[in-house]
């Protein structure tokens, strides 16, 4: 049985500098899909020259941030002393835990010389017990992302978070969660079965795609019901298409989000701000 669509929507503009951004999650229908509580799509853009777009140093607590760079170069600094660049196809992952300040800057890819940028940023909500842990950080280059070809020359799948068949991401799981980048060749299809009670959404970055017999437009965010069933992806275009599938088990603890913090109560949000202003998250030192 194929899963039914719960809703579909398009994002709201949330531009930063030279980057055109659409905020897909949270949206007017839901605040979370499994542990995922935030998704910004930095849409594909060609720049006339090197650029420098970032948010500047800012704090986080209670979540893990994940930046997936389709095209471009992403540089990360944080108050734990971590510094790295990832390039097209790479991932910046940071567990904010009990508090950290970071600064991310997206630029064109200096390795390839191309002037394009295209990326996603997710926030993954942590269970309460992990919100009080020390921060952690991973810089994952494209060649380190698990990937395999799909049957019948249909395309490929990358496992950004979680597991798929024999593939396993090196990003830690604090609950059942997954994030897949699926590439479907022209005229091909792919299906996957989702267990009962798993929350799952799809996002179509750049092209229309057929999901369970319904066509959705580029830029649409689609959430499915919680019943066990199949998601069947068809590409009837004359060119390849891409889709993100993500979700996981329902987050059962209270969710209280404000600014860069996602906690379990209002008092914890107040604590997060108090500790930040008291300097307990440290400082970024760039060399």
Q: Is 104 annotated as a binding residue?
A: yes
Q: Is 76 annotated as a binding residue?
A: no
Q: Is 102 annotated as a binding residue?
A: yes
Through-space distance between the first and last CA atoms of the chain, rounded to whole angstroms: 56
Read out DSSP for the chain?
-BPPEEEEEE-EE--BTTB-EEEEES-SS-S-BTTEEEEEEEEEEE-SS---EE--SEEEBSEEEEEEEEESEEEEEETTS-EEEEETT-EEEEE-TT-EEEEEEEE--TTT---EEEEEEEEEEPPHHHHTSPPEEEEE-GGGS-EEEPGGG-EEEEEEESEETTEE-SSPPSSSEEEEEEEE-TT-EEEEEE-TT-EEEEE-SSS-EEETTEEE-TTEEEEE-SSSEEEEEE--SSS-EEEEEEEES---S--EEETTEEESSHHHHHHHHHHHHTTTT------
Distance separating alpha carbons of residues 235 and 224, to the nearest angstrom:
19
Q: What is the largest CA-CA distance in the chain?
A: 57
Q: Is 41 annotated as a binding residue?
A: no
Binding positions are 58, 60, 102, 104
Binding positions for Fe cation are 58, 60, 102, 104
């Amino acid at each position: 049985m194929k899963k039914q669509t719960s809703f579909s929507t398009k994002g709201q503009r949330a531009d930063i500098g030279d980057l055109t951004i659409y905020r897909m999650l949270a949206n007017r229908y839901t605040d979370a899909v499994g542990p995922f509580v935030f998704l910004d799509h930095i849409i594909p853009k060609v720049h006339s020259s090197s650029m420098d777009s970032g948010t500047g140093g800012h704090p986080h607590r209670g979540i893990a941030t994940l930046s997936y760079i389709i095209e471009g170069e992403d540089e990360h600094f944080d108050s734990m002393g971590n510094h790295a660049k990832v390039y097209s196809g790479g991932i910046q992952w940071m567990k904010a835990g009990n508090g950290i300040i970071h600064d991310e800057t997206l630029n064109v890819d200096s390795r390839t010389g191309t002037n394009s940028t295209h990326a996603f940023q997710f926030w993954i909500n942590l269970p309460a017990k992990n919100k009080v842990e020390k921060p952690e950080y991973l810089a994952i280059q494209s060649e380190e992302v698990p990937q395999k070809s799909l049957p019948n020359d249909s395309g490929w799948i990358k496992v950004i978070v979680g597991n798929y068949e024999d593939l396993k991401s090196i990003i830690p799981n604090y609950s059942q969660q997954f994030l897949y980048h699926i590439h479907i060749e022209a005229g091909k299809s792919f299906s996957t079965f989702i267990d009962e009670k798993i929350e799952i959404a799809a996002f179509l970055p750049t092209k229309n795609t057929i999901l369970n017999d319904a066509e959705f437009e580029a830029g649409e965010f689609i959430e499915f019901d919680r019943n066990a069933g199949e998601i069947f992806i068809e590409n009837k275009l004359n060119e390849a298409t891409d889709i993100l599938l993500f979700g996981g088990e329902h987050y059962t603890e209270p969710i209280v989000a404000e600014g860069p913090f996602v906690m379990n109560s209002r008092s914890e949000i107040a604590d997060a701000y108090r500790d930040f202003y008291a300097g307990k998250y440290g400082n970024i030192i760039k060399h």
